[in-house]
Structure formats: structure tokens, C-alpha cells
Chains A and B, each alone.
Chain A
Amino acid sequence: METMQPSDSALISLYIAGQEEAFAQLLERHKARVFTTIMLIVRDEDVAEDLLQDTFIKAIHTMKGGRYNEEGKFSSWICRIAHNLAIDCFRREKRSPLLNLDTTSHAFNSLSLAEEGAEAALTREETHARLRELIQELPAAQKEVLIMRHYGDMSFQEIADATGVSINTALGRMRYALINLRKKMAAQPVFYDQNVYPREATPVRVQRIAG
């Protein structure tokens, strides 16, 4: 039986009350999403690790300083901090788009080598690295919405508010981001490898409808 996980809101209350374990759970729950958001903007593992720390340090100060606003989702809030820090850093550094892009970097270590075999995992990881490259090639406005929505867990309305556009514009940008990604992927047969991009539309559809 699946155990009930405490909500972010409950964990924040416990953390503010002095329970460090609650913060450890919050960090574990959100670190990959926040790190991915940062990584897709700065494209440098060391910088991303530093910015991840800066992001959570800001959050610690806000929560323990009694300034955390309960309105809105924690995930959106923390990703917005991360996004702002990453954008500031990117502008400051004025990085060349592909300067630090290492497609074989072990920073992208979200897959378990032991579970699926080293060779398959390597192929899969190379493909995911290529996907991250394709995301970088998207027009800036489309990339921004895709990162904020998919990795930052911000709603389309929150993205619209943060970027100063209407929700329909944000939705349109996301739509074209996905269309463009799909075109780029279609041009590269590796993405249609059954192990990487399974074409099993029916089971997915049924699963979602049932859910």
C-alpha cells in the first residue's frame, strides 16, 4: 500500500517549527526539478550546482525568517527563485550558447546504470543529452515557457504573470515549443528508437483517461 506523503505546506510548517528532517524531505522532493531548470539555462554543471545551493539558501532564509508566503505552490516559488538566479547568472556571464555544453557529462545522472545495463543506460543518456541540446535550440520565449512549465512546475497562468504575457500567449509558446521539438526529433532517427521514444499511443491514452 502506498503511504501518504505529507504535503509541501505541512513540511514547511514542520521545518519552520524546527524539524530539519522536514526540510530534507522538501529538498529531496524538489531538487531534481530545480536543478534541471537551472541546468537548462546555464548549461554548466558546476555553476548549476552553485546556483542550486543559492536557491535553497534563499528559501531557508525566507522560511526561517518568517517571510514565507503560504499563497501559491512551494514548487512554483522555488523554481521561480532558481529561474531568476539562473537568468541573472547567464546574463552576467554572457555565455556562448554551446561553450559549456558537454553532452556526455555525468551531471545528468538521473538514470540507474545498474538497473538497465550500462550500454542501454549510456545510449539512453546520450539521447537525453541530445534532447537537452534540442531544447537549447528552441527560440528563447518558447524555451522559457517549456522550462518553467515542465521542469519548474509553474502553471501557465503563473508563467504568463512572470513573463508579462497573456495565458494564451504562454500556451501558444508551449505549443510551438513542442511542435518544434518534435520536428527536430523527427529529423534525428535516434529519437524513434523503441527503447527511447516508444510509439505506444494507445496504452498511454487509456492510462491517462482512466486516471
Chain B
Amino acid sequence: MIKTFTHEKLLRYVYNELPAKEQQEVEQALVHDADLAATCADLLLAQRTLDGARCTPKQSTTNSILQYSRTFLKAG
């Protein structure tokens, strides 16, 4: 019997939030269901694209935080 999965369950799968048993079920279905695999691939591509929008702070900000931590230690 072909088990169907909701889009919400696939979302939880690509974000590694499914319990192990359900994760296995999805992975087995991906092997046999091309449409499901394509939908999953789209989600993974979206994840990858969103990763590209990640940004980093200035080094000076990082240094200030580290300095604060060291100073806090001395004060404490």
C-alpha cells in the first residue's frame, strides 16, 4: 500500500524533526514515489537558497562581546 504524506510532514522531515520511525517511512516512500521525492527536493533547494541569505556580524562586534565576557568574569 502506498502511504501518502502531507506537505507538513515533509517539512518536518527536511528539518530533521520527525521521530526515527516516521523518518524511515518517509525515506522508504521517497525511493518509490517520484512525485514525493521531487517535492522533497524542492524543499531542500528552498532550504539551500535560504541558507545563502545568512549574514554575519562585524568582527569588531564579536570582539566586543568576548571582551565583555572576560570583563564580566573579572567583575564576578
Q: Which residues of A contact B (CB under 8 A)?
A: 18, 20, 23-24, 27-28, 31-33, 35-36, 39, 48-49, 52-53, 56-57, 60-61, 64, 107-110, 124, 127-128, 131-132, 135, 146, 149-151, 155-157, 168, 171-172, 174-175, 178, 181-182, 185, 191, 196-199, 201-202, 204-205, 208-209
Contact = CB atoms under 8 A, between A and B. Distances in A.
A32 B65 contact: no
A146 B42 CA distance: 16
Given A35-B56, A109-B55, A205-B37, A52 B61 contact: yes
B2 interface: no
Interface string B24-60: 0001001100000110111111111110111111100
Contacts of B52: 124, 127-128, 131, 196
B55 A36 contact: yes
B46 A53 contact: no
B65 A57 contact: yes
Contacts, number: 126
B37 to A, nearest CB: 5
B23 to A, nearest CB: 11
Contacts of A197: 45, 49
B5 interface: no
Q: Is the interface of A mostly helix, strand, loop or mixed?
A: helix
Contact of A60 (B17, B37, B61, B72): B72
Given A208-B40, A209-B30, A31 B72 contact: no
Interface of B: 7-8, 11-12, 14-15, 17, 27, 30-31, 37-38, 40-50, 52-58, 61-62, 64-66, 68-70, 72-73, 76
Nearest to B44: A204
Q: Is the interface of B mostly helix, strand, loop or mixed?
A: helix
A131 B37 contact: no
B7 A110 contact: no
Contact of B8 (A107, A171, A209): A171
A20 B53 contact: no
B41 to A, nearest CB: 4
B31 to A, nearest CB: 7
B7 to A, nearest CB: 5
Contacts of A53: 61, 64-65, 68
Contacts of B14: 208
Nearest to B31: A209
